[in-house]
Each structure stands twice: as C-alpha cells, then as structure tokens.
Chains A and B, each alone.
Chain A
Amino acid sequence: MQPWFPPPGSTGAFFLLLLLPPLLLVPFVLLARRRHDRRTPPLRLLVVAGSGGHTTEILRLLSCLSESYSPRCYVLADSDKMSEAKIRSFEQKRAERFSNSQFTLDRIPRSREVRQSWTSSVVTTAYSILYSLPLTYKLKPDLILCNGPGTCVPVCISALLLGLLGMKRAIIVYVESICRVETLSLSGKILYYFSDYFIVQWPALKEKYPKSVYLGRIV
C-alpha cells in the first residue's frame, strides 16, 4: 500500500486544516443556539455593511430602530469606498434625532470579490475569519445584523466561535436581501444554519426555507 502524500497545493491544504477544528465544533454550536436570554438596553449592535445595494438596505433596516440599539459598530470590507459615506450621512441624521447617538467603523479584508472563483474564496474567507476574530472580541456585540455580503460570513463565524469559548454570546440576525426572491445568496445558504433569526422578504423563500421569518417587504 502506498504511503499517503499531501495533495499538491499544500498551502490550500494548510488552510483547510485551519478550518477543520472550527468545522468540527459546528454540531455543538448548532445545539448551543437553541435559546438566549432577554437582554436589557442598551444593546451593542454590530452591523455588517456590504457594497452597493446591501448598505442601502441595511441602513433602511436601521432607520426605525430605537435609541436602545447603541453603539452601532459598522464593519466594512477594506475595498468598499461608497459605504462609508452612506453610513456617515445616515449617522449624522440620526445624531440630529437622538442626542446620545454613537457609532464606530472598522474594516476587514473582503472575504470574496464579486465573480471570484469558489476555490480561492475558501482561502480568502479563512483569512477574513482569522482577521475578524480580534475585531469581534474587541467589539463584543450583543446583536449582529447582516444582509448578505460575503463580509458577513467571517464576522458571524468569529462571533460563533467567541460564543462557544464562553466569551460573548451574540444574537445573529440575518435579513436576506430584497433581490433574493426565489433563491438564497451564498451567505444566506450558510447563515441559514448558523443564525438565530433568518428573515426573508418574499413568500416563495418562506416556503422553501421554513425556519425563516417572513415579515413582508421591510426595506
């Protein structure tokens, strides 16, 4: 019998090995997400902002939230230029309404560019997870809100790991984009199993994904 050699591309193998321990913890994470405690205000909110329409949608979701969701910690991909301007404009208007309005802005490496191949996405996502662990630890959010950009997967996975290690148990709320009428995005397909609340905006998705929540069109 031939000895087993590592397959070619040992860098890829190294990253896969890096992902293996967190993946083995998945069953425990899924069991641990059954219930969470009532929270008292104020709630630290981590908002994952994506490019283009994602940011517009998520700012609309935030528009009706009360003062109890503060501070809002925005996490953006480092290659995203437009979202920062939109967020600052939104927060400025909010500061006119609420005196104690606070927010922060942090950047992480983008886990996947549009049209990036799936195989290289695994490597870049693994790197983003390692990068977002210290950030999530620093921010210690009570609630994480995201709506689909690739950036949200590493942030949510790092929050799950922190919860598992007993450091901070964040509620993960995922709102699928309004563009998704019949199928979920890749982030949605992953986070459907890892989020506490998975919200869809079209009835066809509610039928396909029964664990999701349908509130109608909310953006």
Chain B
Amino acid sequence: MKTVFVTVGTTSFDELIAAVSSPAAEQVRRRNARFGGRQEEGPSPPLAAGLPCLSSAPARWLRGRLWGAARSCTEGGKREPFCGEWEAVEGEPAVLSSGLSPASVPPPQVLRSRGCRQLVLQIGRGALQPAPQYGPAFVRDVFRFKESLAEDLRRADLVISHAGAGSCLETLEEGKPLLVVINEKLMDNHQLELARQLHKDGHVLYCNCSTLVETLQSMDLSTLKPFPPGQPEKFALFLDKVVGFE
C-alpha cells in the first residue's frame, strides 16, 4: 500500500484532512514564523475545556489549530493570527498547539505501518491546508483541485474519499480499493446511502472520521469486489424511444 490518495472532491472536509495528516504521529515540531522557530506550549484554547466528545487526538489538534489562530501576540501589542508550519523532525516529542499530547495511535502512523510511503491530499475547498513534506522515507503532497484526478487515482494503491458520487465512481472505475469516509456535517447526510449500498454490494469499505483509525488498522482490501460499469447506452435508447426517434 505504497501510495495513498485522499480526495474530498469539490467539497470542504477538514475533519478528514485533519484525521489523515495529524502531525502528532510524524513527530513534528510546530514552527511559528512569528516567534522565530521556538516551540510554543501555551494554555489550552478556552473552548476546548469541557468538551469531552472532542477528546481524540486529531480533534484536539484541529481545535488547537483553529483556536490557536485567535491567540493574541505579545509583540507590539497587536493581535495577529498564528501562522505556523508543520515540519517533520525525527526523534523529537510531538507537541500540539493546545499543549496536550496525543494519546491514541493517529491515522498517519497506521498508514505508515501498512507500508504507505506517499500520501497525496486533495483538499478541495477546505480551510485546513497541511504543508507538503518531502523526505527520503515519506512524502506528502497537497493540492486543492486538478482538472482531472485520473492520474492520481491510477498511481494510488488505496483511495480514501468522501462519499461524493463522482469521487466514488471514478475510483471504482479505475479498479482501486476505496475507503469512503462520511462527512457527518452535511445536511441530512444522504451520502451515507450510497456508501452503505456500495458497501453492502461489497465494493467499498466505509467509516466516519471517528472510526477511521480502527478501519485502517483492521481492513482487508482483498475482500472488495470489482465494480461493473454503468450503462448510459440504456438511457440513450430510452430517450430515443420517448421522443419518438425510432
């Protein structure tokens, strides 16, 4: 499973991007351009306290990143947004902006333990933009949109996608193993229907952001069945018949 491609189509799905690019697993140190590269361990963001449901490592990282931006800067008394970059540093302890340490095994480590050496993130309209990484052992590419994802799909050994029809169908038609992640923030969450049906028919695995880790740990891609193509010619025949072109 050397190359893993993560796609959110034309949507915004920050929770998934955060979940697969949590820097805690890669032993990173946050570099704050404002503070000249010093490590920062500030107090927990005020809204983070008292929210037990947001206790997973990726959620804490995401909270810290979002609320860390609101912390005031002491230099010159001006309130400036935090802007930092994540950088892989071997052997150093992981630090999250909230000052809390990760507890569980984060997804990227699971991916790497299954042989992933390249992670490609297509982040769409998301606000969260992880920095790319280029190292001898691991590469992370990040982009928003491309005219066609066909090349990235072809190169991937595993695709982790949101449940959009275009993303799912394109992936299945390339014959790639697909893990669909449901975005629980969508109104009425109709995407769940397609993922559930495709899963019932044995074509995809599916989960949500909170069950991503266990799915990645326990999945067996050899159980997935090939996906037969749709038949638009049937639609053309039907239309010819109803308009009277016979």
Known: A60-B230, A218-B234. A171 touches B193 (CB 8 A): no
Known: A38-B244, A52-B9. A180 touches B238 (CB 8 A): no
Contacts of B166 in A (CB 8 A): 52-53, 55-57
Within the complex, what minimum Cβ distance (angstroms) separates B173 from chain A? 10
Contacts of B137 in A (CB 8 A): none
Cα A63 to Cα B239 in complex, Å, equals 13
Q: Give the size category of A's interface with B.
A: 35 or more
Known: A57-B166, A181-B194. A64 touches B235 (CB 8 A): yes
Q: Say yes or no: is A43 at the interface (Cβ < 8 Å to chain B).
A: yes
**Interface SS majority for chain B:** helix
Task: Convert A204-219 into 0s and 1s, putting 1 for each residue whose CB lies closer than 8 angstroms to a CB of B.
Answer: 0000000001011111
Q: Say yes or no: is A178 at the interface (Cβ < 8 Å to chain B).
A: yes
Cα A219 to Cα B197 in complex, Å, equals 16
Cα A32 to Cα B191 in complex, Å, equals 35
What's the tally of chain B residues with a CB closer than 8 Å to chain A? 34
Q: Say yes or no: is B219 at the interface (Cβ < 8 Å to chain A).
A: no
Candidates A40, A179, A217; contact of B230 at CB < 8 Å? A217
What residues make up the interface of A, taking CB atoms closer than 8 Å to B?
A: 37-41, 43, 51-53, 55-57, 60-61, 63-66, 68-69, 82, 85, 89, 114-115, 142-143, 171, 173, 175, 177-183, 185, 196-197, 199, 202, 213, 215-219
Known: A82-B10, A179-B191. A173 touches B197 (CB 8 A): no
Residues 210 to 246 of chain B near chain A (Cβ within 8 Å): 230-236, 238-240, 242-245
Cα A177 to Cα B10 in complex, Å, equals 17
Contacts of A55 in B (CB 8 A): 166
Q: Say yes or no: is B1 at the interface (Cβ < 8 Å to chain A).
A: no
Q: Say yes or no: is B167 at the interface (Cβ < 8 Å to chain A).
A: yes
Contacts of A175 in B (CB 8 A): 235
Cα A197 to Cα B190 in complex, Å, equals 23
Cα A206 to Cα B190 in complex, Å, equals 17
Within the complex, what minimum Cβ distance (angstroms) separates A163 from chain B? 16
14 extra interface residue pairs, beta carbon distance < 8 Å, beyond A63-B232, A114-B187, A143-B243:
A40-B244, A52-B9, A52-B164, A52-B166, A56-B165, A56-B169, A66-B236, A85-B147, A175-B235, A178-B169, A179-B163, A180-B193, A183-B193, A217-B231
Known: A179-B190, A183-B190, A218-B232. A213 touches B238 (CB 8 A): yes
